[in-house]
A = this chain, B = another copy of it.
Amino acid sequence: MSDEPHFLIEEKEKTSDQGKLTLASGEATLEPLELGKRVKEIRLSQNLTLEEASKRTGLARSTLSKIENEQISPTFAAVQKLVQGLGIDIPQLFAKPTEQRAQASGRRDITRLGEGKPHPTPTYEHELLATQLSQKKMIPYRTRVCAHSFSEYQDWVRHDGEEFLFVLSGSVQLYTEFYEPVELHSGDSAYYDCDMGHALVSTSEEDAVVLWVTA
């Protein structure tokens, strides 16, 4: 069963590559810039004086001042004190303010019933939803479960991420590697880690239809 989740994986890799790219290009601009400014922004946003920040981080006022004015390149140890003392999280620190806004906002995509992008496989007929949007955290799709027996799969489906499953019509048997199979009826749902083997078969007369969201 290498049928189903390929398109998912591609999509995910695209996403993470993006992240790296953004960062690499940040570096490429010969980087010394930014760090000090960022620290200062963060400190001010918390309404701290250098003195207070000094107490929290254990770094000297003067040192903080120099860091903020890019007069020195702080030691890794110093960065850690900063991070801990001011409650910064690392990506926040390394992302340039511009890039920080790079996460999309204000997008919207409507998909009418049956008008998603078809993606058939031997065991499932997927209909990808919201395909107009490319950089999204979740991948939703509506799926007709054609398989009616576990034997139609040669192996577990396995990929990374988490998956949410909701039964829209019919009933299915959800097989998962580390649990007993469980039967789900219309309206039931499941949430699981995708690196655990999983597979779905229809148990109702007609093919069951489910909604799947992976992230």
A-to-B contact residues, CB < 8 Å: 16, 19-20, 23-24, 27-28, 31-32, 35, 73-80, 83-84, 87, 89-91, 94, 104-114, 129-130, 133, 136-138, 140, 142, 161-162, 164, 166, 168, 174, 176-179, 182, 184-193, 195-196, 211, 213, 215
A76→B79 contact, CB < 8 A: yes
A188→B136 contact, CB < 8 A: no
25 A-B contact pairs sorted by A residue (CB < 8 Å): A19-B89, A20-B87, A28-B84, A73-B75, A73-B76, A76-B79, A91-B91, A106-B193, A106-B195, A108-B176, A110-B182, A110-B184, A110-B188, A110-B189, A110-B190, A113-B188, A129-B191, A137-B137, A137-B161, A137-B215, A138-B138, A138-B215, A140-B189, A142-B189, A215-B215
Tell me the minimal C-beta distance from A90 to chain B in angstroms: 5
Identical copies in the complex: 2
* A138 CA to B166 CA, complexed, in Å: 13
* A83 CA to B140 CA, complexed, in Å: 32
A interface secondary structure, majority: mixed
User: What 4 new A-B contacts, CB under 8 Å, besides A106-B178, A107-B193?
Assistant: A23-B83, A31-B84, A73-B75, A111-B191
